[in-house]
Chain A
Amino acid sequence: MIDTLNIGLAALILGLGVWIIAARDAYAAVVGFIAYGLLLTLVWVQLHGIDVALTEAAIGGGLTGALLIGAVGRLRSTEGAARAERPGVTTRWLAAVVSAAVTGALAICVLVLPVPSPTLAPEVAANIAVTEVGNPITAVLLAFRAMDTLLEAIVLLFALIGVWSLAPDRAWGGRPGLLQQADPNGMLAYVARVLPPIGIVVGAYIFWVGADHPGGKFQGATILAAMWLLVMMAGLGDAPPVSRAWLRWLLVAGPLAFIGIGMVGAVHAGAFLAYPEGFAKPLILVIEFALMPTLTLILGLMLLGAPRRGET
């Protein structure tokens, strides 16, 4: 029964993937991509990777989907021209062959993996008690592979700087995105008043529960960012101008705290990002709390796009 379900799920994902590639309309392809993200979430649940499933649903399907829909909206005016200059047969065949070769190489890599595959899981499980964190994923992300998580946060910051760098000169320092004019008594404004209290509780819960159960700062921050965006889309609030000092400080606070604690480790525990004995859990908590507002702001601001209005 479960096998049938899994085979059906895999077939659905492959079919959807082919459909996304074949879709002529960019908007239809993006909608397909969002559905693809949700199906992948189910796959991760089936593989018992609940943390990954949450991230896939929040960031892979939700946030990336919203980013792509925004991109499609902006490209709409050029889509006709882009379709007119369709690449030649040779180019398309070449693209197909290269893509198929990459897929084939990946398939071969997966098939020749030794069984049982080499793993560090037993060592992680043996040493997890040192971190005093109950959720092994959080322990790996913030203790054993803290460097990766630090770089991830910094990469997000670079992505935001990349988005901001698209601002026209006259709007630099101003508010990102367009001014939203929604009906103050409309449906959107109603939801933007009702949903955020629930969403903030859910986001904070997912953030807090990440220490011992599936969840964590990335998933929680995505939910909080979504609530913030909802309020702004309904015209109940406005984005801050990107020149504000408090905004800039909050954006770098998370990575700075992370690096600072890493330096403390270099002095007191012998290695960059090593935690002094007995202080692992409190230091991990400090890092999580420092990263949370930074991630929420970065994710929200990235969706709003480059500054396009003056400071007023």
Chain B
Amino acid sequence: MSLAFELWTVVAVIAGAFFFLAGTVGLLRFPDSLTRLHALTKADNLGLGLVVLGLLPLVDSVAGGLKLLCIWLLVLLSGATASQLIARTLQRSNSPP
């Protein structure tokens, strides 16, 4: 059973790291701000989410696990807000750089 948990941790954290890598590559390579924003939110949402899910079997208390989940949810909230605000500003300035 513990082997299955460890395997899950390794797989999920590696998958999360992959999304962070892909998000970073997208941030550097995509042509305009909106697509770059799209790449960035993938790293926040899926990358961090997979890392958190992967670490869940390793926590030693329920409160610790809830804190990890809260961190993910708060990052989701702040990431979604920040990208919304940036996208809104881009739309208003109406000249995608």
* Residues of A bordering B, CB below 8 Å: 186-188, 190-191, 194-195, 198
Contact = CB atoms under 8 A, between A and B. Distances in A.
B77 A187 contact: no
Contacts of A187: 80-81, 84-85, 88
A196 to B, nearest CB: 12
A188 B74 contact: no
Contacts of A186: 88
Interface in B59-97: 74, 77-78, 80-81, 84-85, 88
A283 B56 CA distance: 41
Nearest to A183: B88
B88 A191 contact: no
A34 to B, nearest CB: 13
Contacts of B78: 191
B77 A195 contact: yes
B43 to A, nearest CB: 15
Interface string B1-40: 0000000000000000000000000000000000000000
A304 B88 CA distance: 24
B84 A198 contact: no
Contacts of A195: 77
A186 B88 CA distance: 10
A186 B85 CA distance: 9
B33 to A, nearest CB: 15
Nearest to A191: B81
A198 B85 contact: no
12 contacts: A186-B88, A187-B81, A187-B84, A187-B85, A188-B81, A190-B81, A191-B77, A191-B78, A191-B81, A194-B77, A195-B77, A198-B74
A188 B77 CA distance: 11
A198 B77 CA distance: 12
Contacts of B85: 187-188
Nearest to B74: A198
Contacts of B81: 187-188, 190-191
4 closest A-B pairs by beta carbon, nearest first, are A187-B84, A191-B81, A187-B81, A187-B85
A191 B80 CA distance: 10
Contacts of A190: 81
A194 B78 CA distance: 11
Nearest to B81: A191
A194 B84 CA distance: 16
Nearest to B87: A187
Nearest to A230: B81
Contacts of B74: 198
Contacts of A188: 81, 85
A301 to B, nearest CB: 24
Given A187-B80, A194-B77, A195-B77, 9 more contacts: A186-B88, A187-B81, A187-B84, A187-B85, A187-B88, A188-B81, A188-B85, A191-B78, A198-B74
Nearest to B80: A187
